[in-house]
Structure 1
Amino acid sequence: MSSVKSLEALKVLVADDDRDSCIHAALLLETLGIHSDWVLTGKECVEKISGACREGADYDVCLVDWRMPDINGVEVTRRIREVSGPDTTIIIITTYDWSVIEQSARDAGANAFLSKPIFASSLYNTLLSVTGIGRAVEFSAPGMITRQMGMEGYHVLLAEDNDLNREIALELLKMAGITVDCARDGREAVDKFLTCRERYDLILMDVQMPVMDGYQATDAIRKSEHPRARTIPIVAMTANAFHEDVMRAYSAGMNGHIAKPIDQKVLYQVISETMAGQR
């Protein structure tokens, strides 16, 4: 690939038939200062690469899911190589054991492999390895902003039943220097809060969870005998950002609202503003 001096200068394309996985990867890339595009099929991926080549604006890196329904990742890799030659670095991403396709993928032109769910640290290290960019690029750079916002050292309880959404939120919180405990449903969130006494600074509460939803969990917390029952900040996480959703969160006793998929900047801003109101 052409010489690139920093991660921020990379142009990245993500190809995965799972929309949430695309959003997850794009958010992690954003935390590294990298702009990315994403597509949901192998065909779109090849077309996007071809179009960029014709315009002289080649992608530096392409993350390609191994198992896409229209064209598998190995074949997509082969077609990309026919179009772009060696200029685009190709990373195969998969939830499966890639050893069975490693040789054929490398023969097709793949440069590296990455397991899903993708974590920021593994993505960062893989990008540095395959691009040759020096480690002068500081992985904690996104955390510099959050430290200036005074969030490092917070202890947050994250209540989220969806595995991918939980991984995304967990990764973003950890990058901010925040310690995180997780609950997979509302009842578990209530139990953790009640048994951990003064441990948590804030609760991020998904509103749609099994056993006990976020509104019910918030009500149980607010009505409990815990010394911080009425003062612990609780921020709702919902798939909608309509006015009525925000109002329902406040009516349920919550202190703030974040729409999903979670945006890194919004997450940090809401946490910072919510905690500032507690001082």
Structure 2
Amino acid sequence: MKDVYALHNIVDDVHFPFDPAAYSRFKFGDGAAAEAFGAALAAGFIATYGNRLSENDQLVVIPSPYTSIPTASYHMTVMFTKVLNRYLCMRGYNPAETTKIHRFKTYSIDYGALDMESRKALIINDKYHLDKDFLLGKTLIFTDDIRITGSHELIIRNLLQRYELDNTAYFLYYAQLQNSSIHPNIENKLNYYNVHSLQSLEAVICSPSFRFNTRVVKYILHAPFAEYEQLLMKQTPAFLQELADCCISNNYYQMEEYRKNAIFLFDHLQKIIPSWQSICKKENGPILNYQNSQLA
């Protein structure tokens, strides 16, 4: 059995059954919105499927695939799992386990702007990995924020088939598109509904609940340089270091679209944080200038 459940169904491209502004902030790192969405999704799942769960089920919650930097839906999934586990605990059941679908490719194209065929063409060469031995015999719960064409779900279904995992599985979404006459780029409309510039992003990243994710990192690194520099100069050293670490972990500094802004960030960190000077300094040599290195 493999069921698909969405908390909200999108049938109109103007009126949405949830707050589109909150959804947009969520996609750009609003942790409070992520927690609210995760809690609501868990409540909906429990109301719909709670009577199917039993003490003999070992649940495993698996967020949408990512490389190193989590997606926005990962942060939603963290709260989903907490609420689900509270429900399981109160009934004497084992808490849900968690794991990850490892993804070995990343890209700079904005997936939300593509049509169905372009989405399939983009992700067809992606490589994924699951821990088959860990998942054997368990009930799987795959979570994501939105289902537009089902392309990513198809990838996961094919992955399960390739690994010969015939587990009971649920595919859960905060929302799904239920009107085929609406173009898939409705996803982009939702993504940028409230956050559509670095200026509008500032309110999100200044919030104490802000969480880095792939979208916000790529958006910052791909911004026009003058706006990017202005934004960076307002941020704390801790923020800048986390942004740099995200950039490094997903290899964004090696991608042409992000390289200039990434190099500027690295150079700036060398100037303001001693530890960055020491790690970038060659033995008995001057501090490495990224603009003159092989990264430039």
Q: TM-score, normalised by structure 2?
A: 0.31
Q: TM-score, normalised by structure 1?
A: 0.32
Q: Give the helix-richer structure, 1 or 2.
A: 2
